[in-house]
Structure 1
Amino acid sequence: MAFSSNSALQRKCHCEKDKINQGSILYHILNHKRNPRLPTCSCKHESKEKAALGSPYIACKAASEVLLKTVNFMKNLPSFWGLLQPDQLLLLENCWAALFLLGLAQEGVDFEVIEPSKTSILKEILTNQKGKGTDEKTSSEPSAAEVQKVKSFLTKCWSVDISTKEYVYLKGIVLFSPDVSGLHAPQYILYLQQEAQRALTEYIHSAHPRDTSRFSQILLALMSLKSINAPVITQLFFRPLIGNMQMNALLMEMLYTS
């Protein structure tokens, strides 16, 4: 499912220029089978620069498939289904984006990024299919700096060459987050997280006995997820498909629909 592009957003910041002069479309896509980097800059205007997917149909389709696998991962965990439903919903709402990004990394999904003005007309077609009710706020693109955080996380995971088993344990660590506010059983969820971390540690020691830095490298990549907000993921990969539909509503539908 991985894909990449040889073209990328090649643009200079302004200062550098001065110096040199279910009825949703998402389900429709899922039911039909099927490393460029953003430049960084320390200038104050960086946060105002926007970014968009260069090939929205390809990227959104791949992202939709990863999201489906992400929800199925939760569905197939007996320890998750053993929790009270309110706790399931809180974990789903607060952890889906991080789990999704781990899924992108595991599947090797890269994506092309371009200037919003150069966005494919297909994105406009997809968005317009949701009707004229889509407001300007929901169709706005995330900042280039925010997208760069996503790209950077994927690069970190790929540089460590994380294995399938390691991804499973990492997803367990991310999913069972006892710090989520409002949980009914935070202590039990902490226990589940510690079990996932223990399993990851034992696996690394067994599979990579001579690599003393591997565990810290993987956890360092995991920590970078905290700087990536779920709304950025929604705007980048799913808003063109679901329009004004709330992401949490879609996730609940996916989780509790067999």
Structure 2
Amino acid sequence: MHPFQVDLQHGRQCPVSGHRPPHLSPPPPTILFNILSQKQHNNNNGSSSHNRNFSTSSEDSRQSWCHHRSQRHRLQQQQQLQQQLSNCHCEQQHLQTACRLKDPEVVCQAACTVLVKTICFTTSLPAFCQLPQRDQLALLHNAWVPLFILGLAQEHTEFEVTETRPSPPSSANSILKRILLSNDDGTERGQGGTGGGLERETSIPTLAKVHRLKASIQRLRSLDLSPKEYAYIKGALLFNPDVPGLQVPEFIEGLQQEAHRVLQEVVVTLHPQDQGRLTRILLTASFLQTIPQSLISELFFRPVVGQADLFQLMTDILLSPGAVPRDSVAAANESKWAKQHCQR
């Protein structure tokens, strides 16, 4: 027997030739081997799939976080915008709040003094007194508000306001009042169809209107105008040929041109280095004409005259002989330069 026969029969190969008999080849894979191999294959596939799923999950998570961050940023921007709009709305509501004078007794007395001096200034001008009475009233009605504001600035009249919150009438009372006080054509009785009730509502002083008024006064004070400059500014505003219904508009236009010419001479003489001063003065004067008459009437004179017509009172003072102290020192100092040039 070959020494390696037993070993070959036991399935061992020859250590010299390395030959393995055909009948001793490795047996085919068993069922257990297939199961174990399939499990290993599944584990490998599962690991690769897990890695791919983990990468996909990480990418999705990153995208989701970026989307959430972007959405949160947009939400914050929307909240900030809403807050700004809310603040702006609150500010607008605050500016539309009705107001009144803090110290009406003192301020109204000072305002009446300024108004009397304003009328005194106009009646101290010979050229104004030579105009037809109808033109005098038309010019005064058109210019008394800017003249009055100029007087407030020149006299350094200070005033402060405080908020008022009137209780609104009930809807039932408001409807009943409209029914009882309305005419057949729908207009309110006693108003002549001019909408007087609506005008009274819109003429209520508000913080925004008072702010514009105080801003115009501050602009005048910042110019540091001399008495001569004040006088000729008033003359240029008073003699306005564009007022409707004038009988002698050409003559009034000549007076306005003369006031502008002399104002320019005064500005150049007093401020030769300030070439833009005349422009600033004229712009400020034009801004005064945007202040509504109703604001001045309601704020400064309604506590004094009540429901009386303020301009009618001014007309009575203007037309009453001796009612205005024409020899007033303040008016004379203010208008003596205007007199000289209006007589030309």
TM-score of the superposed pair, with normalisation by structure 2: 0.56
* Preserved contact between residue 116 and residue 141 of structure 1 (Cα < 8 Å): no
Is residue 2:115 matched to residue 1:67? Answer: yes
* Preserved contact between residue 178 and residue 189 of structure 1 (Cα < 8 Å): yes
1:97 is aligned with what amino acid? V
Aligned CA distance change for structure 1 residues 181 and 47 (closer, same or farther; 3 Å): farther
- Of 197, 201, 209, which residue of structure 2 is paired with 1:146? 209
1:221 is aligned with what amino acid? T
Task: Report the alpha carbon displacement of residue 44 of structure 1 after superposing the two structures with TM.
Answer: 4.6
- Of 104, 111, 130, which residue of structure 2 is paired with 1:56? 104
* Preserved contact between residue 118 and residue 147 of structure 2 (Cα < 8 Å): yes
Match of 1:246 in 2: 309
1:98 is aligned with what amino acid? P
Question: Partners in 2 of 1:186 and 1:172 — Cα distance?
Answer: 15
Is residue 2:290 matched to residue 1:227? Answer: yes
Aligned CA distance change for structure 1 residues 73 and 237 (closer, same or farther; 3 Å): same
TM-score of the superposed pair, with normalisation by structure 1: 0.74
* Preserved contact between residue 172 and residue 196 of structure 1 (Cα < 8 Å): yes
Question: Partners in 2 of 1:174 and 1:248 — Cα distance?
Answer: 18
Task: Report the alpha carbon displacement of residue 90 of structure 1 after superposing the two structures with TM.
Answer: 0.5
Question: Partners in 2 of 1:189 and 1:100 — Cα distance?
Answer: 21
Paired positions, count: 208
> Which of the pair has the greater relative contact order for Cα pairs under 8 Å at 6+ separation?
1
Q: How does 1:1-258 map to 2 (within 5 A)?
A: 44-45=92-93, 48-117=96-165, 137=200, 141-257=204-320, 258=322
Aligned CA distance change for structure 1 residues 146 and 209 (closer, same or farther; 3 Å): same
Task: Report the alpha carbon displacement of residue 94 of structure 1 after superposing the two structures with TM.
Answer: 1.3
Task: Report the alpha carbon displacement of residue 117 of structure 1 after superposing the two structures with TM.
Answer: 4.8
* Preserved contact between residue 119 and residue 318 of structure 2 (Cα < 8 Å): yes
The range that moved more, 223-232 or 70-79, is: 223-232
Question: Partners in 2 of 1:42 and 1:68 — Cα distance?
Answer: 40
> RMSD across aligned C-alpha pairs, in angstroms?
2.6
1:83-129 per-position Cα deviation (integer Å, ceiling 9, x unaligned): 011100111111111111111111111211111259xxxxxxxxxxx
Task: Report the alpha carbon displacement of residue 145 of structure 1 after superposing the two structures with TM.
Answer: 1.4
Task: Report the alpha carbon displacement of residue 141 of structure 1 after superposing the two structures with TM.
Answer: 3.5
Gaps of 5+ in 1: 1-14, 20-39, 119-134
